């Protein structure tokens, strides 16, 4: 059964044109947002923000049609919990694509918005975790299949003390298990030669 879509837009001619594009793409149209799987919502309409909040709270996939498709306009839409946002004056095919992506769990964003988000959250290049070279060596040994008992014996720690030391390393890496610690170390390039 094709997904059911509602379009909330005050301009009837625009709404009908968008609904025609959706039907051509294989969607079913409803006038009742409560009956829809997803909703295209013009945030510029009166009560658009409240409608977005209510629809998201009801579990609907909402794609905002933005009168202001700037990074700030996208941020405003995402503050209301929408799944994706697109300019209201975009080509209907692009709006259908944005809706399809949102229904698949993806948001489609303009490059300018992505760059703006990256500038807001520069944490992608986080500093090296607070672990010593010796501790990285222990993780590398674990990744190679070494046992905690053998690592403890080689370093002069008791096995119990080694488990405690490793748990402290896991905490500093922000993980709770050996497997997670090894994965984080590999992804962060902490092992020699990475």
DSSP 71-117: HHHHHHHHHTT-SEEEETTS-HHHHHHHHHHHHTT-----HHHHHHH
CATH 1.10.10.10 domain extents, the chain: 133-187
Kindly report the CATH number that applies to the domain delimited by 133-187.
Answer: 1.10.10.10
For 151-190, write each residue's pLDDT tens digit: 999 999 999 999 999 999 999 988 999 999 999 888 888 8
For 13-64, write each residue's pLDDT tens digit: 999 999 999 999 999 999 999 999 999 999 876 678 899 999 999 999 999 9
Tell me, what's the pLDDT at 126?
A: 63
End-to-end CA distance of the chain: 49
Report pTM.
0.62
Tell me, what's the pLDDT at 193?
A: 53
Pick among 3.30.360.10, 3.90.79.10, 3.40.50.2300, 3.40.640.10: CATH of 4-122: 3.40.50.2300
Q: Which is more confident, 45 or 97?
A: 97
Phi and psi at residue 132, to the nearest 5°:
-85, 165
CA distance 125 to 134: 23
Read off the DSSP letter of residue 122: G
* Count of other CB atoms within 10 angstroms of residue 59: 7
CA distance 21 to 133: 59
Read off the DSSP letter of residue 33: G
Tell me, what's the pLDDT at 40?
A: 95
CA 118 to chain centre: 13
Instruction: Quote the mean pLDDT of the chain.
Output: 89
CATH 3.40.50.2300 domain extents, the chain: 4-122
Q: Which is more confident, 192 or 47?
A: 47
């Amino acid at each position: 059964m094709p997904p059911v879509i509602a379009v909330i837009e005050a301009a009837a001619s625009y709404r009908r044109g968008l609904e025609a594009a959706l039907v051509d793409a294989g969607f079913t149209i409803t006038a009742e947002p409560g009956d829809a799987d997803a909703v295209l919502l013009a945030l510029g309409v009166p009560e658009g923000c409240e409608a977005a909040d209510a629809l998201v709270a009801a579990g609907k996939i909402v794609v905002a049609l933005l009168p202001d498709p700037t990074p700030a306009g996208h941020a405003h839409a995402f503050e209301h919990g929408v799944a994706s946002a697109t300019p209201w004056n975009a080509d209907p095919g692009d709006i259908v694509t944005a809706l399809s992506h949102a229904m698949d769990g993806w948001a489609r964003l303009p490059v300018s918005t992505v760059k703006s988000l990256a500038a807001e959250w520069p944490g992608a290049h986080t500093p090296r975790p607070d672990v010593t070279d010796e501790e990285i060596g222990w993780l590398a040994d674990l990744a190679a299949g070494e046992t905690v008992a053998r690592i403890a014996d080689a370093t002069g720690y008791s096995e119990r003390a080694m488990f405690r030391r490793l748990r402290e390393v896991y905490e500093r890496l922000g993980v709770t298990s050996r497997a997670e610690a090894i994965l984080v170390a590999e992804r962060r390039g902490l092992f020699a030669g990475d």
